Chain A
Amino acid sequence: MALTLQDQITSTHRGHGHCIAKGADLTRMIAELLGKEIGYCGGRGGSMHIADVETGNLGANGVVGGGIPIAAGAALASKMMKKGTVAVSFFGDGAMNEGAFHEAANLAAIWKLPMILFCENNKYGMSSSTEKAFAINNLADRGKGYGIPGVNVNGNDVVEVYEAAQIAVDRAKKGEGPTLIIAETYRWKGHSRSDKNLYRTKEEIEEWRLLDPIPKFIARTIKQKKLTQEQCDGIQQEATDAIVAAVNEAVKAKAADPAGLLDAVFKKVSA
């Protein structure tokens, strides 16, 4: 992995993948989605607000672009405290037109912060395509505006993403500053339950389904004789079992309790 447990991330309103990849406890994560007391936020945050201090996850964010300046701040703290860690902000193409992106990218650039601005370009901000929302074709060109590298990767290729991330992490940790990575990918499903996919074609969705990164990675791994088909099946089964077990446990957990709500707003001031 390009990131260690100590490296920090901020995530998007669709942050479950980042959360798991950073090492979160599955049961606590799913319990949070179900509004349970043992959930990461005790049922107070839900799907869009899971954070995990132990794994350097500063939290998913309900506001588009909201986590980008926060990651810049985490990177600033890393630099000031000489931690040697990197902070990665994950965001979508939509966030790149938020002021928060511009302000954070510029701060990270002028202060040479150990930060990675990682854009998962899934082509649509809800229904707005990148063609409609940008007057440039290559989002990575924005890097030039801040004097930082802008890198394109195939976001549906695990190895390509890993390699680009590793270069950016090395650069950040050497004190050379931030990198903007644009990972091209796709959102198969609608933005939310109200989405009727009126802004794109079925054919387009089907084309992207064929580019599913998981089978592609498995096929390559087997071809390169790094793993066998059985080993790959085993890993997938393990993952499925882990999710099922977590869901089962989370379902049984105690529902979140309103009793403590008023006391939860502020952290107690220690005497």
Chain B
Amino acid sequence: MLTMAEAVREAMSIAFDERPEVFLLGEDVGIYGGAFGVSGDMYHRYGSERVLDTPIAELGIVGAAVGAALSGMRPIVEIQFSDFTAQAMDQIANQAAKIHFMLGGALHVPMVLRTPQGSGTGAAAQHSQNLEPWFASVPGLKVVVPSNPADAKGLLLAAIDDPNPVIFLEHKLLYKIPGRDPVPEGSERIPLGVAKVVREGKDLTIVATGIMVNKSYEVCEKLAAEGISVTLIDPRTISPLDMQPVYESVEKTGRLMVVQEGPAHAGFINEVIAQMAGSSSFGSLIAPIKRLAGMNIPIPYAPQLEKAAVPQIEDIEAAAREIVKNWR
């Protein structure tokens, strides 16, 4: 069973083998193998010209990727921690995202920016954020948040194929764990913009992103043993967002809970709530929508503080139980 780091590496390797214009650039992606070991041995397999170590210069790196993408290459940029995309935001939000539209479709930017995000490593506030809403609020970016190795592989292959800039947010706690399902062999793509119904139930719909899919799954298993059945939906790509399965599920369950790791205020998951509130499925709800998200604080350092800052399995379980029990 491949881990997510291995699945991402496999997807990149397949893309490298399929297209000579694909290359990887970033800090320490070469001989070091990437800060989280994602590029691993690719430097040795593909050489220093396709696995390009860069200086610590996020704005320059992303800008160079944009320029290369405009000129016939298909770069994959690794930004060592998603927090550091702040350094590169002009090239991400003002350049990459807007070039196709702003220049009247004359040019496009087939670039993937992969970056690890999320808390749980004791690295404190500047190495632990979930920045989905930064990217999801910029028209022109596609945003992928894989929750398991199999999806990561298929989605990354689709992201590399995509003629538009794609932000690929990998939760760093997922890197080392194998998924529930094996990673398929071969090079099958998972189209961007298609949500996955992870499991089906009749009592509650949970929409969760990234690592919260895994945490929610454990809750689903536990509740199933008690006779509470839950539908779990993983949007997989948050831009574009596929709401159809959410509507269909809520029409059956009548209850909706949304879960994300990032702070609640202006978080991505609020978009799911807003779209639900404006949809004709809204009338199917028999309970108020429950939102579980990170606290509105920077991620703290000490393990017990860090845990308190983001939803844990127990929180999801308690909230799920409460909504099913209290609203009938």
Q: Using an 8 Å CB-CB cutoff, how does the interface string of A41-59 with B read, 1 for contact, 0 for none?
A: 1111100011111000011
Given contacts A80-B23, A107-B57, contact A72 B63 (CB under 8 A): yes
Judge whether B103 is part of the interface by a CB distance below 8 angstroms: yes
Whether the pair A72, B71 counts as a contact (CB closer than 8 A) is no
Residue in B61, B66, B68, B140 whose Cβ sees the most chain A Cβ within 10 Å: B68
Complex formed: what's the CA distance from A61 to B103 in Å? 10
Give the segment of A96-104, A147-155, A196-204, A215-223 that binds chain B.
A96-104
Residue from B62, B101, B192 with most neighbouring chain A CB atoms (10 Å): B101
Q: Determine how close the nearest CB of chain A comes to the CB of B309; give it in whole angstroms.
A: 31
Residue in A53, A59, A103, A264 whose CB lies within 8 Å of B101: A264
Q: How large is the interface on B (under 10, 10 to 19, 20 to 34, 35 or more residues)?
A: 35 or more
Query: Is B194 on the interface with A (CB-CB < 8 A)?
Result: no
| Contact assessment for A106 and B55 in the assembled complex, using a CB-CB cutoff below 8 Å | yes
A8, A43, A52, A267 — most chain B CB neighbours (10 Å): A267
A43 to B105, CA, bound (A): 11
Q: Tell me which of B21, B68, B163 contacts A74 (CB under 8 A).
A: B68
**For B94, what are the chain A residues with a Cβ–Cβ distance below 8 Å?**
62-63, 66
> 26 pairs across A/B with beta carbons < 8 Å?
A40-B103, A40-B104, A41-B102, A43-B104, A44-B103, A45-B103, A45-B104, A51-B103, A63-B90, A66-B94, A66-B95, A69-B59, A69-B66, A69-B67, A70-B67, A71-B67, A77-B68, A77-B72, A80-B73, A99-B59, A106-B55, A107-B54, A264-B104, A266-B163, A267-B100, A268-B163
The 7 lowest CB-CB distance pairs between A and B, nearest first, are A73-B67, A69-B63, A103-B60, A41-B104, A77-B71, A73-B64, A70-B67
A residues near B (Cβ < 8 Å) are 8, 10, 32, 39-45, 49-53, 58-59, 61-63, 66, 68-78, 80-81, 87, 99-100, 102-104, 106-107, 110, 264-270
B residues near A (Cβ < 8 Å) are: 21, 23, 49, 54-55, 57, 59-73, 75, 90-91, 94-95, 99-108, 139-140, 142, 161-164, 192
Given contacts A41-B106, A69-B66, A81-B71, 8 further A-B contacts (CB under 8 A): A41-B103, A63-B90, A66-B94, A66-B95, A70-B67, A70-B70, A266-B100, A269-B162
